[in-house]
Amino acid sequence: MDRYLDFILNHYILSLALAVVTYLLIQELFDAAFKKFDSVSPLLAVTKMNDIETIVIDVREPHEFILSHIDQSINMPLGKLGEELTKIADHKSTPVLISCQTGTRSASAAKLLTKAGFEKVFVITGGMQAWENDYKLPVKITSKQKTKAIPKA
């Protein structure tokens, strides 16, 4: 036991790094085990969009959304998503696909949606970057910000 203590005292930076990495791994395991949303590839997202009625939410800022977005997606910037959820509150049992630029903002949006009671929430992995560049899927480009009407359930 004294040897472990000597090692820790002599190599405190390595010991601290081991503690931090262990903490981060455990945190990641808990997040993965308890998250209430799934991730789907852009191809699986297209399949879901074609097979069943889905809502596609783009959580990027309006200036990013205008440049390119998935056809029939709704722009709800992440910063305003909490306020905008009333627009789709009637569709809590409808599958919801969430996209952003790289897939990082989508996870935060998915957490908000699951907390709000949405049952089927999916994050598009890689976001619009993967949609356009990796999978070469079609996008819509608009010159002005347009608001899409939410279909009635």
**DSSP at 149:** P
Residue 149 domain-assigned (yes or no): no
Tell me which residue range forms the domain holding 112.
37-134
Shared domain for 111 and 48, answered yes or no, is yes
Three-class SS of residue 71? coil
Q: Are residue 15 and residue 75 in the same domain, yes or no?
A: no
Taking residues 83-104, report their average pLDDT. Answer: 95
Taking only the tens place, the pLDDT of each residue in 102-145 is 999 999 999 999 999 999 999 999 999 999 999 999 999 987 64
Task: Indicate if 72 and 89 belong to the same structural domain.
Answer: yes
CA atoms within 13 A on the CB side of 117: 8
The residues facing 121 across adjacent strands are: 96
The Cα 42–Cα 127 span in angstroms is: 8
Tell me the average pLDDT of the chain.
Answer: 91
The residues that bridge with 56 in the sheet, in sequence order, are 97
pLDDT at residue 152 is higher than 80:
no
- Exposure class string for 72-97: b at 16+ Cβ within 10 A, else e: ebbbbbbeebeebbeebeebeebbbb
Residue 70 lies in a domain: yes
3-state secondary structure of 10: helix
Residue 46 lies in a domain: yes
pTM exceeds cut of 0.75: yes
List the CATH number of the domain containing 104: 3.40.250.10
Span 82-104, average pLDDT? 95
For residues 8 and 124, what is the distance between their CA atoms, to the nearest angstrom? 43
| Tally of domains within the chain | 2
Domain match, 88 and 72 both? yes
Strand partners, 57: 74, 98
Is residue 57 domain-resident? Answer: yes
If asked whether residues 55 and 109 sit together in one domain, one would say yes
